[in-house]
Amino acid sequence: MENKRDHKLDNFFSYSFSLDCLIFGFQDGKINLLLVKRESEPFKDQWAIPGDLIYPDEDLPNAASRILKDLTSIEGIDLHQAQTFGNPARHPQGRVITSAYFALVRMDDLQEYARSWSDRIQWMPIYSIPRLSFDHNEIAISTFEVLKQKLTIYPIAFDLLPEKFTINNLQEIYEYAFQQDWDKANFRKKLKKIPLIKLNEKQKNVKHRPASLFKLDSEQLSKMIKREDYSFSLKIN
Amino acid sequence: MENKRDHKLDNFFSYSFSLDCLIFGFQDGKINLLLVKRESEPFKDQWAIPGDLIYPDEDLPNAASRILKDLTSIEGIDLHQAQTFGNPARHPQGRVITSAYFALVRMDDLQEYARSWSDRIQWMPIYSIPRLSFDHNEIAISTFEVLKQKLTIYPIAFDLLPEKFTINNLQEIYEYAFQQDWDKANFRKKLKKIPLIKLNEKQKNVKHRPASLFKLDSEQLSKMIKREDYSFSLKIN
DNA sequence: CCAAAAGTGTTGCGAGTACACCCATGG
DNA sequence: CCATGGGTGTACTCGCAACACTTTTGG
């Protein structure tokens, strides 16, 4: 027992701590995960969740923000901690413990960026993730479960939507996440508990009645949360 | 017990990874957290959450089991991962990132053990935790929140109870956890969804009508979970 | 006109709440 | 006898699911 512990840690890779940042986006009715193609061994040229070692003076949320910003230039959005993974065999080159964080981003804000990097990064629908590097499939599944859990209680789905969205956009997020359909009338009734502002604007160029655009009343929401007056919850099944 | 190797920190662990194991028990209507008195600097003789560095060949769940077993001799119970903490300043002697795990134990099984160590360990009601070492107050609060969250969905409250318990014991756990009272008739109806076996046994030496003792029908519960037929959920407020 | 999706109102069932009442024990 | 908490039945309410129906656009 004492012997095992006499490992020296001067080799950065022999025992280190990293953070994986799972970036989720929503488009065309699907929730996507941003993957990067690895540029070095191990698993060179295979898809992976973006991540990095944590710097010595960095708190975990800082590291998550940094990774998100380096990759997408996005700043100032909420990051959520999911699970931490520490199987000694998870990294072939040494002991690397990793914490998963996730962010929900507006894919629209990233269009041109995504094109410029299109050979090294890719959005993949969460239910169609290919085989990934390391134990990243397990991390993706686990983190998506945490995301789903939070979706049932917190109003984080809006982070995936553009500022102006239709009620149906929102419903699609839930239907895709839980692979389950809701009645649109009843779904709208659930939303009564979330403060939304109906804009004087409608969808365009649709060959059916255009839907009204809404935005989240963030101020009102903060107030409600402050006075513990926020009670949205979505029952599955 | 824990931290007997803290003195090595400066030469050995300039950057290390530990695991804190929050052990919860239930007695006399209160949920308690097991704390240990630190035997070395920093924070010598102050209360702390039991924890240890993770061994090089150990997965996180293994480390959590080990810490639990070393301290209490308890084996084979469920351990749940909570949050991971990595503030660079959280440990005065170096960078230590720590993952919190929690276990729910039967306090009755630990009576004699608790007495034999009574000067170095102590159960403290979760709502009366004193000032702890490091950032352990934050860890305790955060982990208790995760525990509460799980209590609303999963049948883990039984892990806190002796094999034979009364319905009121169970209700007390929820009422203490959420600091909220439930109507006893209605509380019983919620439990209809959890398979319980009513034993031909009653409380003794109580100066009122003795309550029936129940036990959890674990087999039935596993079956229900397997066929996704388990749907207990407790609404707060 | 029709197709398609937006958006709303109504009804009926069921879960959950409030509350009343009876039961078993010790003192 | 009382006090205390165990245990159960009932009636009412409110949320929610099902479903029908109207509205607005493009073609």
pLDDT in tens, chain B (237 residues): 333 334 334 444 467 899 999 999 999 999 999 999 999 889 999 999 999 999 988 999 999 999 999 999 999 999 999 999 999 999 998 899 999 999 999 998 887 676 677 788 999 999 999 999 999 999 999 999 999 999 999 999 999 999 999 999 999 999 999 999 999 999 999 999 999 999 999 999 999 999 999 999 999 999 999 988 888 888 876
- The residue in chain B having the minimum alpha-carbon distance to the alpha carbon of residue A97 is B17
- Angle at A37 (CA atoms; ends A36, A43), nearest 5 degrees: 125
- The pair of three-digit structure tokens given for residue B120, joined into one six-digit string: 């170095």
Instruction: Verify that A20 and A83 share a domain, yes or no.
Output: yes
pLDDT digits (tens, 9 = 90+) for B148-160: 999 999 999 999 9
Instruction: Verify that A72 and A187 share a domain, yes or no.
Output: no
Instruction: Verify that B42 and B104 share a domain, yes or no.
Output: yes
Bridge pairing between strands A121-125 and A51-53: unpaired
Query: Which CATH number do you get for residue B94?
Result: 3.90.79.10
Instruction: Let me know how long chain A is.
Output: 237
Nearest by Cα to A69 from A112, A126, A110? A110
Place of tokens 């990233």: A110
Are B16 and A5 inside 8 Å of each other by CB?
A: no
Domain boundary (A105, A121, A151) is at A151
Those residues whose beta carbons lie under 7 A from strand D are A 183, 185-186, 189-190, 202, 205-210, 235; B 166-168, 184-185, 188, 202, 207-212
CB A124 within 8 A of CB A35: yes
Bridge pairing between strands A95-105 and A15-27: parallel
SS3 A50: coil
CA distances from A158 to A172, A174, A182, A197 (A): 12, 11, 18, 13
How many CA atoms lie less than 13 Å away from B117 in the CB half-sphere?
17
CB A16 within 8 A of CB A99: no
Instruction: Verify that A60 and A138 share a domain, yes or no.
Output: yes
Distance CA B66, CA B58 (A): 10
Distance CA B63, CA B53 (A): 8
pLDDT digits (tens, 9 = 90+) for B165-222: 999 999 999 999 999 999 999 999 999 999 999 999 999 999 999 999 999 999 999 9
Are A5 and B58 inside 8 Å of each other by CB?
A: no
Nearest by Cα to A10 from B12, B157, B86? B12
* Domain that includes residue B15, residue range: 6-151
Instruction: Verify that B143 and B59 share a domain, yes or no.
Output: yes
Those residues whose beta carbons lie under 7 A from strand C are A 166-168, 184-185, 188, 202, 207-212; B 183, 185-186, 189-190, 202, 205-210, 235
Nucleotide at minimal C1' distance from the A204 CA: D25
